[in-house]
Every structure is written in C-alpha cells, then in structure tokens.
Amino acid sequence: MSHQTDQSPSTAGTDPSRVQQVLGAMGETLEDGEVPIEILNNEDVYQEELKRIFGQVWVYIGHESEVPEPGDYRQRTIGEDPFIFVHGEDGDHYVLFNSCRHRGANVCRAEKGNTTHFRCPYHGWTYDNTGELTGVPQKAAGFDHLEADEYGLHEVPRVEAYNGLVFASMNADAPPLEEYLGGATWFLDMYFNLIDMEVIGDPHRWEVENDWKTPTENFSGDNYHIPMGHKSAIDAGVGSDTATGEKESELYGIADCDGHSFSFYQIESDEPTYWGHPPEVVEEFNHNDVTDNQHEVARKSGVTLGNIFPNLSFIFLGGRDDPEKESVGTFLLRKWEPRGPGKMEVVNWVLAPKDASKEYKERVYEVGMANFSPSGNFEVDDVGIWYGIDDAAGSVFAQKQNVRTLFTMGRGENPDATVAQDWVGPGTAYRNGGMTDENQLDFYRKWYKTMANEEVN
C-alpha cells in the first residue's frame, strides 16, 4: 500500500538563527554525552522541529485494526497538523488533510466514525472517503469552470504500512518506509509476525506539560529510573514480574539501530515467558512465521520497551494490576504528540492477540489502563517526575549558562554495561543495559542530525 503525489512541505519559516546557535552548541558536546536542556522548551526550536522533523520523516498514524471496514475513519495529527486516517471504499488507506479546498474549514468534526463522504459545514463541498471532490452546491451557477478532479482533499504525499502499522510522511522524497525503519523491522516482525494483534477500545489521550522528547528518550531505554521512579508501584506488587523481582532477568539495551532504540528483559527459564501470555494464548501464535533467533528472544521476553523515531514508543510486558492476580501480556503503543514548546499530548493504544478470548482481551485492557493511563500506577510516577523539566528548560538561566543534561552513564573505566557479542538481532546490544545511556543518546543523535539536515529521512 503506497500513495505518492508531487506535493512537498514548505521550507519557509521563522529566522532559525537561535536554532542554529543551539544546534551548534549541541554538536560540540553531543558525543561527550551532553545535551542542551534548552531544546526541551524553546519556541524557535519547536517551530523548526515541526518542519524539519515532523514535516520530513515517517510518522505513525494508526493501526489498520482501528479502521477495519471501508469508510471507517479516525482523526489524527502529524505534529500539530490535522488529518483524517480513513479506510477508503477502494480498500486502501488514506491520510487526508482535514481542510476543505474551498475556504479551509475542517470537513471532519467527529473523532471517529464510518462514512462514504465528508461534507464541509461551511458551504457544503463534499468529498468521498478517498478524498475526491464529488459535490459542489450550485456548481453550474457559480463553479462551472471548476475541474472537480483537481480539487480533491490534499493527501499526505507518502502513506505506507508495515505489519499493520500505518505511517505517513509529508516528504515526497522520503525513503521507503521499510528502509527508514531499518533494523527496527527485525523487532516489529518479532511482535507482529508472531502475534496477530489488534487495538482494543479507543486510545486514551491526555495533555502533559512536558516536551515530547522527554518520554521518547525515556522509552528509548531509561531503565535506570525504575527502582527510584516506580518504587511505590513495585512495592505494591503491580507491574511486571521482572520489576517486582519475582523473576530474575538479564536486561539488554539495543542501540545503533538506525535511530530507533529498544530494551529487553530476558528471563532464562525452562518455562517460556512470551511477555506474560498464558499457554492457551501462546498456542495460537504464528510460531513458524519468525526466525529461530526472533523466536528465542520472544520466548524469553518479560518486558520490552522501545521507540521508533521520532515519537512512537511501545511497551510490551507481562503485567498485572493486582498482586493477587496472574499477569497478562499487555502491549501498548504510545505516541507523544507535540503541542507547543514544553507541551505534549499523549495518545495511548492497548493491543491484544486478535485470536484471544473476549475475557482475555478485557483483562489485557484492564491491566493496560491500570498501569499506563492518565491515572495509571506507573504513568503518574513518570509524569509527576517530568513536571518541572520544561520550567528548567525554558528558563533564562538555562539559556544564558548553556545548561546541559548528561548522558554518560556506562563510560567509566569499568562499566557494568558491556557489549553483548552474542546478541542475535540488529544493533549494538549492551548487557546490563540499565547502566548505559547509549540508547537515549542515540535518540538525540538522530534528532540532531535530522534538525541539522545532515541526513534525508
């Protein structure tokens, strides 16, 4: 599935002189493991991010299971721009700019639904669900000169899917999605080829006073914060067996994976783990649809975290919301939507095996919401800590003193985190991966190169 037009995003914008100063300073210290905190709350940096990152790279839109039938649609954003993610009557998926070609009003006002057409509430111009203009009131009287096939809704220039995950890019010259994902495809294949998953319910959304890069960096591999940041939840016996210490695991941090990062808690046991899924669910997995190496990693996996650049994160864990109940395999996709300097909107999807029972899916959803929702056991820990970072980042002091954040963990003479030479997947794997910052630093390397236009994404 692929669409391409000759449209390309505008490169016009505000004077980027301050951005260039910040990027220049970042380039000087990045490989020393230091990142200017100012990039987390700076209006000029933010405006350039919208163009240089969200206007150029592949950005996650949604999962195909959210729009299973022709006519199904969801409202989505790329950066702050409004789009309609729709399953067209022709069977293809489209990402349409939610703006009438006549005067620019939104043609779609509902968050989700099923329709054959979108009608503008302003003057009644009507478009089918592939974006074609099909109706103009009083066309013969006022618009007899109009060629309807030239005035359909604008489409994002590139739309492609990988394993049910639909991405879009405003950059008509972006590389193919699979090429952009690079080594990340190995991990996505392991999840989605092994397990046929679907989205359960609607995504939860909430706004947070934090820059989108803070959680993205965190999900790239900040396992260092867990004993401190999530101590209360762990003490209560919720979350994963690895977090509570009930099952011993070895943590691998995966860096150098084409700008994307991962971490795996691997449990050595005669009993397979498969992220906490019970045997009756595991029996339905597509065990022959992954490689032997992928299968071995999957069967030992207790918790997996990761990030697809720029702002799609995920966590897959055997989790529970009650210490008296059995854990279930819970997969969550998370998108950190930019909503201004130092501000973001969190969009959180829960996925479960498509062939599992209704009761099991409901249990997966309960655990996902209990731990990773606006009031989730783990969510409130993170957000409560992150609050205030944006205040420091946007301060006069941070700008005048060039305050930097530090990513040098694991660079001493005798680091606990060591390169795992026997790692079977792509990227560089660090054994005892909670003691290295390389995953997170990789995110900022990708961010820096993209912002500095050093690579075409």
Residue 13 in this model has a pLDDT that exceeds 70 = no
Q: 39 near 29, Cβ under 8 Å?
A: no
CA angle 113, 114, 119 (to 5 degrees): 90
Mean pLDDT of the 313-325 span = 90
Instruction: Tell me which CATH homologous superfamily contains domain 182-451.
Output: Naphthalene 1,2-dioxygenase Alpha Subunit; Chain A, domain 1 (3.90.380.10)
Residue 397 in this model has a pLDDT that exceeds 60 = yes
Give the pLDDT confidence of 161-190 residue by residue, as tens digits.
999 999 999 999 999 999 999 999 999 999
Residue 317 in this model has a pLDDT that exceeds 80 = yes
% of the chain exceeding 90 in pLDDT: 82
Which residue ranges does the chain devote to CATH 2.102.10.10? 59-169
Question: Which of 38, 49, 45, 42 lies closest to 405 in space, CA to CA?
Answer: 38
- For 375-389, letters b (16+ CB in 10 Å) and e give ebbbbebbbebbeeb
Model confidence at 229, pLDDT cuts 50, 70, 90, reads confident
Residue 403 in this model has a pLDDT that exceeds 70 = yes
Mean pLDDT of the 278-284 span = 96
Mean pLDDT of the 34-56 span = 97
Residue 135 in this model has a pLDDT that exceeds 70 = yes
299 residue type, one letter = R
Mean pLDDT of the 349-366 span = 97
Whole-number pLDDT of residue 384:
87
Which tokens hold the place of 345? 């909107």
In this predicted model, which residue has the larger pLDDT, 318 or 241?
Answer: 318
Q: CA 302, CA 320: separation in Å to the nearest integer?
A: 12
Q: 171 near 8, Cβ under 8 Å?
A: yes
Q: Residue 35: what are its φ and ψ, rounded to 5°?
A: -125, 130
Whole-number pLDDT of residue 326:
87
Residue 3 in this model has a pLDDT that exceeds 80 = no
Name the least confident of 149-153, 349-353, 379-383.
Answer: 379-383
Q: How far is CA 367 from the centre of its chain?
A: 20
CB-based contacts of 353, cutoff 8 Å, min separation 6: 195, 196, 197, 277, 281, 284, 285, 329, 360, 361
Q: CA 224, CA 195: separation in Å to the nearest integer?
A: 29
- Predicted TM-score (pTM) of the model is 0.93
CATH classification code of 59-169:
2.102.10.10
Name the least confident of 162-176, 314-328, 408-422.
Answer: 314-328
Q: 161 near 46, Cβ under 8 Å?
A: no
Count how many residues are written for the chain. 457
DSSP string, 205-220: EEEESS-THHHHHHHT
Element (H, E) at 229: helix 226-229
Q: CA 6, CA 173: separation in Å to the nearest integer?
A: 9
Residue 36 in this model has a pLDDT that exceeds 70 = yes
Residue 454 in this model has a pLDDT that exceeds 80 = no
β-pairing, 165-169 vs 59-63, is: antiparallel
Residue 5 in this model has a pLDDT that exceeds 60 = no
Which residue ranges does the chain devote to CATH 3.90.380.10? 182-451
Model confidence at 228, pLDDT cuts 50, 70, 90, reads confident
Q: Residue 421: what are its φ and ψ, rounded to 5°?
A: -70, -20
